Chain A
């Protein structure tokens, strides 16, 4: 095939790497790779943040039967730019009593974990910026920094609501980190590697990990939604309770950075979901026709669409419901999951079975997950059963008739005053 037809592929970089490797020292190769890779990721993330603003507002508008932004440009496409210009023009306020040295740090610090997450993703077979051996652990370690940034934001604002919001975020993040660590253990045990690229490669040889560890997919999906602070779990910025939570005092572009980080983090979570459980750039051989990195980005946006859908449809949880979900449901399920997967891996290794054993494992795990989820959620939610389980319109509510007094039994009912 003519090389011009493959302009969208990253093979030139591959050739560049081999050429550099022969001619210059290794650290120059590392430097060039780091600069090119970081520039690529920055471009993707920057464009992604712009696109996501539009996508999110339009789609949520669609879900909630309204139009969404449609005035600036065709289909409102230039809306994100208009938003950014508005935010930059706004006056940046700072409370008098705020800790001014700390107050300006959080909008910058929250960006660090959001950006660093993308470094370990495998965008194509040989396209990894940092193929870390402890990649999965790296993802967890990085995400724990976000809590610190939010704490600094809440504390330095010197505002009750900001501090309350920050405390809520940290309580939530620490709680959901526990089931998240546990659910990452299952794919790592099964594949025998902690590198994200290695996990994708394992899935290429066997099958999507989602089939073997469905419980992990479920737990990661739920806890990632909570960690993202998006609407089903955005108790940290609940307008009806604590104004805007930890970013109450931030205005202008500082607030804009918090908003952008939320969108970038959603992309990062979708990317983790796609590469750990749904094959990354691999898609049953389609990656030979369509470039692998396009498949990966499509997968990221597929899961991002799911997040938007959740945000558009679900109301907000109460804080006790959210903490209860983490500690009473997800943690026990994650523990059972790890025990089951570890036993299966032990049997697989000790009995020296072939790769065929993965098929029955998938069947067993999917059945077990479905059974556990149904049984467990029934038991834990049993005390909530007297709450309505479906929507009842006011006019459909059956009010039991009062016993009529004996004297008026034969009299016709008095007509209502007109």
Chain B
């Protein structure tokens, strides 16, 4: 059985760590917003790789499916729909305060990570999908349901916002009237 201290896993961890942190740095330094989002996606993929080295295969797949597949596309769409940010967006303001806040957050996180007495998982890869499913539907059923209700509310809200009104003269697509 392959463990977390195996040579291959350690190499994979360092490669993934470099990819994740390097692309995260690029997100902050690159001028073009689209490039920044693409580096952010690379960072998400790197995090998925880190999950795999932690033998959390299910979480890694969901990370790619949700973050690299769906959320990034949402970000790209919102950039394209914001005219000023689409191209030629070299202006950066408030860089000093944002950098100091980021450094503060990083210091707090690193301190918390180093000072916590972590519990060690058992060595070896096991399937996590079944455990996650049981956890979501048994002890964490209420948060799970609340989250889904929240998502449904958000979806209905989005539909209400973009729904064309007849007073505005817009007709919904798909009527087949223009045929």
A positions within 8 Å CB-CB of B: 26-27, 30, 99, 101-102, 132-134, 137-138, 140-142, 144-145, 147-148, 151-152, 155, 167, 170, 174, 177, 194, 320-321, 323-324, 328, 383-384, 387
Contact = CB atoms under 8 A, between A and B. Distances in A.
B8 interface: yes
B57 A134 contact: yes
Interface stretch (B33-41, B110-118, B146-154): B33-41
A134 to B, nearest CB: 5
Closest 4 CB pairs of A and B: A144-B69, A133-B127, A141-B64, A141-B65
B70 A320 contact: no
B8 A30 contact: yes
Q: Helix, strand, loop or mixed for chain A's interface?
A: helix
A387 B61 contact: no
Contacts, number: 80
Contacts of B80: 155, 167
A102 B35 contact: yes
B73 A141 contact: no
Contact of A194 (B2, B41, B129): B129
A27 B12 CA distance: 13
Nearest to B125: A133
Contact of A138 (B1, B41, B61): B61
Given A26-B2, A144-B68, A148-B72, A383 B175 contact: yes
Given A138-B61, A194-B129, A148 B41 contact: yes
Contacts of B173: 320, 323
A324 B174 contact: yes
Contacts of B77: 170
A387 B179 contact: yes
A144 B67 CA distance: 10
Interface residues of B, number: 32
A128 to B, nearest CB: 15
Contacts of A323: 173-174
Contacts of B129: 133-134, 137, 194
B73 A148 contact: yes
B169 to A, nearest CB: 18
B69 A147 contact: yes
A324 B173 CA distance: 9
16 contacts: A27-B2, A102-B35, A102-B38, A133-B128, A134-B61, A134-B127, A137-B62, A137-B65, A141-B64, A141-B68, A142-B64, A144-B64, A147-B69, A194-B129, A328-B174, A383-B175
B22 to A, nearest CB: 16
Contacts of B174: 320-321, 323-324, 328
Nearest to A139: B61
Interface string B155-179: 0000000000000000001111001
A132 B57 contact: yes
Contacts of A137: 58, 61-62, 65, 129
Contacts of A384: 176
A189 B100 CA distance: 49
Nearest to B41: A148
B73 A151 contact: yes
B176 A383 contact: yes
Given A133-B129, A174-B73, A384-B176, A141 B35 contact: no
Interface in B58-87: 58, 61-62, 64-65, 68-70, 72-73, 76-77, 80
B7 interface: yes
Contacts of A194: 129
Nearest to B58: A134
B138 interface: no
Most chain B CB within a 10 A radius of its CB, from A101, A137, A383, A384: A137
A324 B2 CA distance: 48
